[in-house]
Structure 1
Amino acid sequence: MVDQNDSTEVQLEPSPVYWNNCICLSFLEMAKSLLTSSLSTRTKLLQTGVSLYNTSHGFHEEEVKKLLEQFPGGSIDLQKKQNGIGILTLNNPSKLNAFSGVMMLQLLEKVIELENWTEGKGIIVHGAKNTFCSGSDLNAVKSLSTPEDGVALSMFMQNTLTRFTRLPLISVALIQGWAMGGGAELTTACDFRLMTLESEIRFVHKEMGIVPSWGGASRLVEIIGSRQALKVLTGALKLDSKKALNMGMVDEVLQSSEEAKSLEEAQEWLVQFVNGPPEVIRGLKKSVCSGKELYLEEALQNERDLLGTLWGGPANLEALAKKGKHIK
């Protein structure tokens, strides 16, 4: 019998269930913290001007730039028009517009310029002299032959093309002639792809004893699905305009194969998607990017924040005023 007057304090040991609950709560809090950190990182990556890799990944951009400077040839040209459409030209026709090291550096420079083009709404990527791009200049490839060189180059181009993909511009690849290897990968970094009748896309990486390394395989899966992507990559398939259209790789086959006329057609095709105020078009592209890359909760938050920059703004008020005139 227990003496009710006994003031001795009884120490009770926590039960195993108690400790299990504590451990579970601890793990849940840790998981929540890690998830929040991961979401925050993913959101930051979508911000303009943020690179995919840095020194924490073993990527040293300045060292890679010094390597690429050793391989001159060709240029990346950018024309920004008053209608908000830019024309990005791969200009190395003597080598079927293959990327030299200097061209890779210039592509990053042009992407940075486009990141700061606040009036821009769309961008068309094409190659000079009726050829899109035949990949990388073999002189650079042969010289940068170690696995370390290959990985560094891969990280550089993944950085550049990911930043290009995340531009708040509607992007179109105009494929004239060949788009091979790295050129084929570049087409996947665009929102849309247009081909001329005689053009061809081919991922030839298998025949070079490698895999796509500029992000092309991952983006190809997103465009045509994993089964079709596996066929295209393992078969090094030649995708003419008909096959590419049927597969969903391209959005339309243009009527003209002449360089200037097909570029004009591409601009006319793009106009239907960039017709409107820059802030609205750019906001829509950002919304799609966040929906594609972020978890749902954060994508919804991003969408809400974008709306906050547009609701009650000039374009919104002007549209409401116009609609009011038609209400009877």
Structure 2
Amino acid sequence: MDYKNVSLKKEDGIALITIERPKALNALNYETLKELECLLNSARNDEEIKAVIITGGGEKAFVAGADIAEMSKMTPVEAKKFSEFGQHVFREIELLSKPVIAAVNGFALGGGCELSMACDIRIASKNAKFGQPEVGLGIIPGFSGTQRLPRLVGTSKAKELIFTGDMINAEEAYNIGLVSKVVEQSELINEAKKIAQKIMSKGQLAIKLAKEAINKGIETDIDTGNTIEADAFALCFSTNDQKEGMGAFLEKRTPKFEGK
């Protein structure tokens, strides 16, 4: 498939996916979402890829939102299909067995904020701006923003941001737990790669099981979550990585994980 709006660069086990629509501040139209879905499928099936970083091309925007020009002409039926497709693509990010890091540079508004929230970890540059401004257009977030934002920052703050449509800067995003780190823009991708490399140095099957346990457990009560955790914990003991990791610890050496 030829990609017009996204690009993929592989380096040392890391897939760097970049949204490339600079004239539209990387806004998400249907075509871009479809291309992103294809790249995610490629990353899922590529055994050489151990971690994924998603960012936006240029210095102004991660993703400034969904494409308003495209949305403005939609019927209610078309709008529902567009919402469901965006939700589907972002859910694929969430369910990817490999860790996904959002490197947020510039505007992450509407669909851009929603894209970042589907990732496992969010790193922001100091010029990043987050928000769900949809109510100013007479609509609501449609790519799971009403669902993920409350889970990340709490119901009250999520309602404030969605009801007012306010933008917040990187520092406030950090303070409310929307991002885990803020860095200089020039260091953003390097910092994301450092985090990816640190994750990749650990047991990959353990990372996969930890992601599954967190994602499933957070949607349940604590007792069900504990059962999910115990099952995943037990599965670790069927792997070579567990034997290597614990053996290396006892032998006071660096483990050599093989993802088996």
Match of 1:80 in 2: 10
Match of 1:320 in 2: 246
Structure-2 separation of matches of 1:114 and 1:294: 29
Structure-2 separation of matches of 1:252 and 1:302: 29
1:214 to 133, 143, 146: 143
Once the two structures are superposed, residues 59-90 of structure 1 have per-residue CA deviations (whole angstroms, 9 ceiling, x without a partner) of xxxxxxxxxxxxxx94222233333x221111
Q: SS at the partner of 2:46? A: coil
Structure-1 separation of matches of 2:121 and 2:249: 31
Deviation at 1:302, TM superposition (A): 4.6
Match of 1:50 in 2: none
Match of 1:189 in 2: 118
Once the two structures are superposed, residues 282-309 of structure 1 have per-residue CA deviations (whole angstroms, 9 ceiling, x without a partner) of 1221221221235666655554554454
2:66 to 126, 136, 145: 136
Structure-2 separation of matches of 1:135 and 1:217: 15
Structure-2 separation of matches of 1:116 and 1:299: 29
Deviation at 1:274, TM superposition (A): 3.5
Deviation at 1:218, TM superposition (A): 0.8
Match of 1:243 in 2: 172
Contact 1:74/1:100 (<8 A) preserved? no
Match of 1:16 in 2: none
State the AA in 2 paired with 1:263.
I
Contact 1:199/1:241 (<8 A) preserved? yes
Match of 1:60 in 2: none
Match of 2:163 in 1: 234
State the AA in 2 paired with 1:141.
M
Structure-2 separation of matches of 1:200 and 1:136: 15
Q: SS at the partner of 1:293? A: coil
State the AA in 2 paired with 1:280.
A
Deviation at 1:178, TM superposition (A): 0.9
Match of 1:262 in 2: 188
Contact 2:30/2:82 (<8 A) preserved? no
Q: What's the TM-score once normalised by structure 1's chain length?
A: 0.70
State the AA in 2 paired with 1:208.
L
Q: Which has the larger strand fraction?
A: 2
Structure-2 separation of matches of 1:82 and 1:262: 18
| Structure 1 pair 306–78 and aligned structure 2 pair: CA distance change class (3 A) | farther
Structure-2 separation of matches of 1:99 and 1:74: 12
User: How many residues get paired?
Assistant: 250
Match of 1:92 in 2: 21
Deviation at 1:174, TM superposition (A): 1.2
Structure-2 separation of matches of 1:263 and 1:289: 25
The structure number with the bigger radius of gyration is 1
Q: How does 1:29-48 map to 2 (within 5 A)?
A: none
Q: Does 1:171 align with 2:97?
A: no
Q: Which runs of 5+ in 2 are unaligned?
A: 253-260
Structure-1 separation of matches of 2:20 and 2:199: 27
Deviation at 1:92, TM superposition (A): 0.8
Identity %: 23
Q: Which runs of 5+ in 1 are unaligned?
A: 1-72
Contact 1:121/1:281 (<8 A) preserved? no
| Structure 1 pair 241–284 and aligned structure 2 pair: CA distance change class (3 A) | same
Q: SS at the partner of 1:105? A: helix
Q: SS at the partner of 2:192? A: helix
Q: SS at the partner of 1:132? A: strand
Deviation at 1:207, TM superposition (A): 0.7
| Structure 1 pair 235–251 and aligned structure 2 pair: CA distance change class (3 A) | same
